[in-house]
Structure formats: C-alpha cells, structure tokens
Amino acid sequence: MYILWGIIALILIWIAGSYNGLVVLKIRVKEALSDIDVQLKRRFDLIPNLVETVKGYMTHEAAVLEKVTAARASVAENKGSPLERDKAENVLSGTLKTLFAVAENYPELKANVNFIELQRELSDTEDKIQASRRFYNSNVREINIRVQRFPTNIIARLFGFRTEPFFETAVEEKEPVKVQF
C-alpha cells in the first residue's frame, strides 16, 4: 500500500513540476514579448525628433520624410501584439535606412550633433530590438520543445499550453543588398 501511495505522490510531484515549468516558460515568453514592445516604443518616440532635426536640412527630400512619418503612423494605428505589428515595424525600419542613406548627401546634417546623437540612439535601439527578438525566440524555442516533448506534452495538453510563434525575418529583409556605384 505504501508503494502505491509513493508512486501516486511521485506522479503528482511530476505533474506539478511539469505544470510549473510550463508556467515559468509562458511567463518568460510574455516578458520577452514585452521587452520587444519596450524597444519598439523607444524607437517610435525617437523618430519625431529625428525627423524634426533632418527637416531643416533636407528641403529637397520631402518624400523621404513623408514616408518615415507615414510608416510611423502605420505602426501607431496597428494595436496588435508586436508579432502582429511586425510587418509595419519592418516597413518603418526600411524607411529609416532610406533616411540615413539620403542624409549622407548632406555633410552639414551629418555633422549636426543632434542628428549624430539621434542616429546613434536609433542604431542602439535597433540593436536592442534585434537582441530582444532573439531572446523572445530562445524562450519560444524552450516552451515549444516542452509543449511538444513527451511526457510533458500530456500536461501541456491537459492545461491548455500551446506552441508560440517565432519572430521571423520579413521577406524584404531576406533579399540580398544591392550596391551600386
């Protein structure tokens, strides 16, 4: 009889441990997604300052500034999760790259302290966004392995744990860079 109670106790301890492990991973995924959101918000807040700094110098490049502003507005209108907003965020990243490429034609702008600082901060933020996405993907990998691996998959199914989607590179960003001289 004691052996039976011991086996039942071990099974209950395993179930509780598996459940708690899945809960921890689920929370880590949410935390990682929140980290991405924080970095995207930081970039979003820096863009108006950058546009205002550049406006005075780039009177002939109004279309570039309009594209950056439109891309930022598109991100603002999309109220979904960072995964759902990813396409709009990628368009915004692309317009910022175009803005910096056009800025190369304006030596006095490139020497402007405000522009240099904003460019550095945006570059730093882009790096943090990429690091946050990698952190998110590593947490997603861990929970997806546990949700799909036997015998934890039984507990996951019982308590409604599901696999999470990975952040993936946008199709446009997979294209090779074209350099022309």
Residue percentage of the chain with pLDDT more than 70: 85
First to last CA, the chain: 83
Q: pTM score, two decimals?
A: 0.68
Q: Is the pLDDT of residue 64 over 80?
A: no
pLDDT at 134 over 80: yes
pLDDT value of position 73:
81
* pLDDT tens figures, 21-54: 999 999 999 999 888 888 888 888 888 877 777 7
Query: pLDDT tens-digit profile of 96-109?
Result: 887 777 777 767 76
In this structure, whether the domain defined by 2-174 belongs to CATH 1.20.1440.20 is answered with: yes
Cα(109)–Cα(58) distance, rounded to whole angstroms? Answer: 9
Q: Residue 179 has what pLDDT? A: 39
